[in-house]
């Protein structure tokens, strides 16, 4: 029996495993193929922009982690270009990001976790279900290559399995956790994300990444990120809307502005995103189940940045699980207070970014924007 089974070896799960695996028996399982073919196969890839914002950089520093150069991708970006189709304006703002190869980043964090004596990695293995027994949790997993179903047991199960978390969904059903949400509180708002990768034509340079606002596409935002010889176009579109149609509109508008997004993409990936409300969207767990990272609902409601939340919550959970059993959930909830406050503060900021009528005057004022010679429109 394991002390801990962690479902999901993203930044949250691997951080937790690394922090707790020195003297605990930890099984880190992931449905992805983490050692096989890497890019553009879908087998290893998390659909992500791969930008580390200053909070994520700080979170890594707090963990004592520096990144090897092989994880970085050209170009390194110091600004964001805001393209506002609602108000027909563009502005450039300073933003210090680190541009990374997300597959290599995840693998590096897993390598660090595997250095701990108690950590075992089980890849290509899907957690399908679990059952809480009196003193342990029994987990049903599917080993994908062999099709074999196995039952594994641990004192604790951690759901670090991202936005589409099975652990969180099963837990909500079993404990009848309410799922309704309104503008301010309750269940997170669901988005479908799509990213397409295009070959960057020779001579085309983009010294920033772009945040694109168009209320006919989404009430959240879309983005373009240069990566080596590729250009990624992505968007987070409210679930239930016509994703393809809205994405095509976005692409056509950007092609009109001169961006090289014509033809078939070289790669396409998708993901669910749960945008938290100001209060009440974070779920930390129950009994022998704990959640961290995006599975717990921890992600920025203003930018969809989630790597810093994953690393910080994984580390906080490690501190809590190192303590005696009693009162762990309360202690974890207390630890998460700071992250929940950040989410509430970012929700307050969101209307200024996402309401065209409020964003317009900010752009007109040029407050905090950089003077860049080639800015189109306005």
Ligand X SMILES: Cc1cc2nc3c(=O)[nH]c(=O)nc-3n(C[C@H](O)[C@H](O)[C@H](O)COP(=O)(O)OP(=O)(O)OC[C@H]3O[C@@H](n4cnc5c(N)ncnc54)[C@H](O)[C@@H]3O)c2cc1C
Interface with ligand X (CB under 6 A), residue from 4, 5, 6, 7: 7
Angle of helix 102-114 versus helix 11-20 axis, rounded to 10:
20
Report the residue closest to ligand X, judged by CB: 306
Asked if 67 interacts with ligand X (CB under 6 A), we say: no
Joined together, the tokens standing for residue 75 give 């170009």
Q: Cβ 47 to ligand X, closest distance in Å?
A: 5
Q: Cβ 99 to ligand X, closest distance in Å?
A: 9
Asked if 126 interacts with ligand X (CB under 6 A), we say: yes
**Other beta carbons within 10 Å of 292:** 34
Q: How far is CA 59 from CA 11, 62, 185, 189, 306, in A?
A: 11, 5, 27, 26, 11
Asked if 271 interacts with ligand X (CB under 6 A), we say: yes
Asked if 218 interacts with ligand X (CB under 6 A), we say: no
| Half-sphere exposure for 240 (CA within 13 Å, toward CB) | 2
Which residue has 């809307």 as its token pair? 241
Asked if 310 interacts with ligand X (CB under 6 A), we say: yes
Interface with ligand X (CB under 6 A), residue from 306, 318, 336, 340: 306
Interface with ligand X (CB under 6 A), residue from 17, 130, 156, 162: 162
Asked if 19 interacts with ligand X (CB under 6 A), we say: no
Q: What does the alpha-carbon distance between residue 116 and residue 292 come to, in Å, rounded to a whole number? A: 20
Asked if 285 interacts with ligand X (CB under 6 A), we say: no
Residue 87 vs 143, nearer CB to ligand X: 143
Interface with ligand X (CB under 6 A), residue from 299, 316, 318, 336: 299
Residue 320, burial from CB neighbour count under 10 angstroms (0-12, 13-18, 19+): buried
**Other beta carbons within 10 Å of 134:** 5
Count of residues touching ligand X (by CB under 6 A): 38
Interface with ligand X (CB under 6 A), residue from 19, 20, 30, 152: 30
Per DSSP, the residues of 288-353 read: TEEE-GGGGT-S-TTT---HHHHHHHHHHHHHHHTS-STTHHHHHHHHHHHHHHHHHHHHHHHHHH
Residues that bind ligand X (CB under 6 A): 7-13, 29-32, 46-51, 56, 126-127, 160-162, 166, 193, 195, 234, 271, 273, 293-295, 299, 304-307, 310
């Amino acid at each position: 029996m394991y002390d801990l089974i962690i479902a999901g070896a993203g930044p949250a799960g691997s951080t937790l495993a690394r922090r707790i695996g020195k003297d605990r028996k930890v099984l880190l399982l992931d449905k992805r193929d983490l050692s096989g073919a890497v890019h553009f196969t879908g087998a290893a890839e998390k659909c992500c922009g791969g930008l580390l914002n200053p909070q994520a950089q700080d979170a890594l520093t707090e963990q004592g982690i520096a990144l090897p150069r092989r994880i970085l991708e050209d170009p390194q970006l110091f600004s964001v270009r805001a393209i506002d189709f609602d108000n027909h304006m563009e502005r450039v703002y300073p933003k210090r990001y680190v541009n990374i190869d997300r597959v290599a980043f995840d693998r590096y964090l897993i390598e660090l976790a595997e250095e701990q004596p108690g950590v075992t990695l089980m890849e290509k293995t899907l957690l399908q279900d679990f059952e809480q027994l009196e003193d342990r949790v029994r987990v049903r997993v599917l080993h994908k290559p062999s099709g074999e179903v196995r039952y594994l047991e641990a004192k604790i199960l951690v759901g670090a399995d991202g936005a589409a978390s099975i652990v969180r969904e099963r837990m909500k059903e079993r404990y009848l956790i309410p799922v309704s949400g309104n503008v301010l509180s309750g269940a997170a708002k669901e988005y479908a994300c799509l990213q397409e990768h295009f070959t960057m034509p020779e001579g085309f340079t983009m010294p920033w990444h772009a945040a694109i606002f168009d209320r006919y596409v989404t009430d959240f935002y879309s983005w373009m990120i240069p990566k080596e010889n590729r250009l990624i176009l992505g968007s987070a579109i409210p679930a239930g809307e016509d994703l393809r149609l809205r994405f095509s509109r976005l692409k056509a508008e950007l092609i009109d502005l001169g961006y090289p997004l014509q033809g078939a993409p070289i790669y396409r990936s998708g993901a669910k995103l749960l945008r938290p409300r100001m209060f009440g969207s974070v779920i930390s767990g129950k009994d022998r189940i704990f959640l961290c990272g995006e599975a717990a609902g921890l992600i920025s409601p203003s930018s969809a940045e989630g790597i810093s939340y994953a690393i910080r919550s994984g580390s906080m959970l490690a501190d809590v699980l190192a303590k005696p059993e009693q009162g762990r959930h309360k202690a974890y909830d207390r630890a998460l207070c700071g992250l929940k406050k950040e989410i509430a503060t970012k929700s307050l900021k969101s209307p200024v970014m996402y309401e065209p009528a409020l964003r317009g005057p900010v752009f007109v004022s040029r407050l905090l924007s950089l003077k860049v010679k080639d800015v189109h429109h306005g």
